[in-house]
Amino acid sequence: MVAESEEFTRMGLCHFLESRLGANVVGQAVDSRQALDLARRQRPDLMIYDLSLDPLNGIEFAVRMRELMTGTMPRILLLAREATNDDLLAALSVRVDGVIWKSTAHNELPVAMNSISERHFFLSPRFVTQLLSNFVLLPANANPTASPELRGLTDRELAVLGSISEGLSNEEIARKLHLAETTVKAYSSHLFEKLGVRDRLQAALLAISVGLVQPTLGNPLLWRRCTRPSLDCEQRRKYCSGICLPQSDP
């Protein structure tokens, strides 16, 4: 289902989804009221929803959907021409499944839909860059472990979270912290539950946002599965168009 107020954009997306991606668009909405009604009646697998739609924006719509829907929730991919850092972090907090930039939507939709189908969060590269440029300005003397978001974590969970945020696999974290890999997975599950996040990527972005780790271009969390793995980081970056998780971890 596509919820977008601009007719040209909405019709273009629907045509692309059906003709190029083989999707069945079960409904179109021009405002949030119509989108809620269609969602209840059609129960779509995926909703592409304009972040700035009225009267409920994309964040408010996701919250309302969780209040109203029973059973399996549709996946929600937000479509944004512009988004503030607060918008992007709010999208993570209400557990939408991705945010895609309108200007490159046709190029990024196949990657985004594949990522979402594998239960990963997708964020357009433009918004990744925007977020990271803000995070690297955090003061070096900040105490991130005192932040409300991380206050409930144990020292060991903080160590696991920091390692996840550096892009390490479960096996690498186990070696680094001298733990069994199954123990690392257990710690990860516990901290995901405490943080209210769904996967490694959301946990990593939260850790970066409060300054627990500093983002780097070498972090594999910033790249989708690479089609040219023999290339070094700076070269590889040219071929990547989203964020995804390392293939080796659940």
In this structure, which CATH number among 3.90.700.10, 3.40.605.10, 3.40.50.2300, 3.30.450.20 belongs to the domain 2-133? 3.40.50.2300
Q: Is the confidence at residue 146, as pLDDT, over 70? A: no
- For residue 100, what are the β-bridge partners? 79
> What's the pLDDT score for residue 228?
40
Res 247 pLDDT > 60: no
CB atoms closer than 10 angstroms to residue 186: 13
- Report the DSSP beta bridge partners of residue 48: 2, 77
SS3 for 179? coil
Percent of the chain topping pLDDT 90: 40
Q: Which of 83-87, 109-113, 134-138 bottoms out in mean pLDDT, i.e. has the lowest?
A: 134-138
How many Cα neighbours within 13 Å face the side chain of 187? 22
What's the pLDDT at 234?
41
What pLDDT score does 133 carry? 65
Q: Structure tokens of 203?
A: 């946990």
Q: Which helix (H) or strand (E) holds 3?
A: strand 2-3
pLDDT of residue 198: 79
Average pLDDT across the chain, whole number = 79
49/169: higher pLDDT: 49
Q: Which of 22-31, 32-41, 232-241 has the lowest average pLDDT?
A: 232-241
CA distance 80 to 94: 16
Right CATH number for 138-239 from 2.40.50.110, 1.10.357.10, 3.30.70.120, 1.10.10.10? 1.10.10.10
pTM value is: 0.61
Instruction: Please give the pLDDT value at position 220.
Output: 47
The pLDDT assigned to 134 comes to 59
The CA-atom distances, in angstroms, between 22 and each of 18, 28, 35, 55, 110 are: 5, 17, 22, 31, 11
**Residue 69 pLDDT:** 83
Per-residue pLDDT reduced to its tens digit, 5-19: 999 999 999 999 999
Residue 240 has pLDDT above 60, yes or no: no
Report the C-alpha gap between 141 and 235 in whole angstroms.
33
What is the tens place of the pLDDT at every residue in 182-233? 999 999 999 998 888 877 877 887 787 776 765 544 454 544 333 344 434 4
Examine the pLDDT at 80 and tell me if it is beyond 70.
yes
Q: What is the pLDDT of residue 244?
A: 35
Size (the chain), residues: 250
Between residues 31 and 93, which one has the greater pLDDT? 31
- In the chain, where the domains are located: 2-133, 138-239
